[in-house]
Amino acid sequence: MNQKVRKIYFIFLVFFLFSCASVDLNLKDFSQVKEPSINGALIFGVRPGHPVLFKVAISGQLPMDISVENLPSGLSFDKQLNTITGVLASAGDYVVGVRAKNQLGEDFQKITFRCGETISLTPPMGWNSWYCYSESVSSENIRLMARAMKSSGLANFGWTYINIDDCWQGVRGGKYNAIQGNARFPDMKEMVDDVHALGLKIGIYSTPWISTYAGFIGGSSDNEEGSVEDIALLQDKRPQETQFFGRWPGLHSLGLDRFGKYWLCDKDAMQWAEWGFDYVKFDWKPNDVPTTKRIYGDLRNSGRDMVLSLSNAAPIADAVGLAENSNLWRTTGDIHDSWASVSMIVNQHLAWAEYQSPGHWNDPDMLQVGNIGVPNTFVTSFKPTGLSKNQQVSQVSYWAMFSAPLLLSCNLEDIDDFTIRLLTNKNIIAINQDGLGIQGRVILENSSLRVLKKDLAGGRIALAVFNKSGMARIKNFDIAKFGISPDYSCIDAWSDEEVNIEENLLEVGLGGHSARVYIFSK
Mean pLDDT over each residue of the chain, to the nearest integer: 95
The greatest distance separating any two alpha carbons of the chain, rounded to the nearest whole angstrom, comes to: 87
The backbone torsions φ and ψ at residue 161, rounded to the nearest 5 degrees and listed phi first, read -90, 140
Q: Which of 380, 403, 432 is the last residue of a domain?
A: 432
Number of domains comprising the chain = 3
Are residues 189 and 308 part of one domain?
yes
Per-residue confidence (pLDDT) for residue 98, from 0 to 100: 98
Domain assignment present for residue 449? The answer is: yes
Per-residue confidence (pLDDT) for residue 15, from 0 to 100: 47
| Residue 363's CATH number | 3.20.20.70
Using DSSP, state whether 394 is helix, strand or coil. Answer: helix
Q: What is the DSSP string of 285-336?
A: SS--HHHHHHHHHHHHTTTS--EEEEES---GGGHHHHHHT-SEEESSS---
Quote the pTM value: 0.94
By residue count, the chain amounts to 522
Are residues 205 and 110 part of one domain?
no
Domain assignment present for residue 120? The answer is: no
Are residues 73 and 24 part of one domain?
no
Domain assignment present for residue 302? The answer is: yes
Q: Is the peptide bond before 312 cis (omega within 30 degrees of 0)?
A: yes
Whole-angstrom CA distances from 101 to 37, 57, 117, 279, 508 are 9, 14, 34, 33, 36
Per-residue confidence (pLDDT) for residue 1, from 0 to 100: 52
Under a CB-based contact definition with an 8 Å cutoff, are residues 379 and 135 in contact? yes
Structural domain including 70 reads 33-115
Q: Give the number of other Cβ atoms within 10 Å of residue 339's Cβ.
A: 20
| Residue 445's CATH number | 2.60.40.1180
For the chain (522 residues), the mean pLDDT of every run of 10, in chain order, is: 48 46 69 98 98 98 97 97 98 98 98 98 98 98 98 98 98 98 98 98 98 98 96 96 97 97 98 98 98 98 97 97 98 98 98 98 98 97 98 98 98 97 98 98 97 98 97 95 94 97 94 97 93
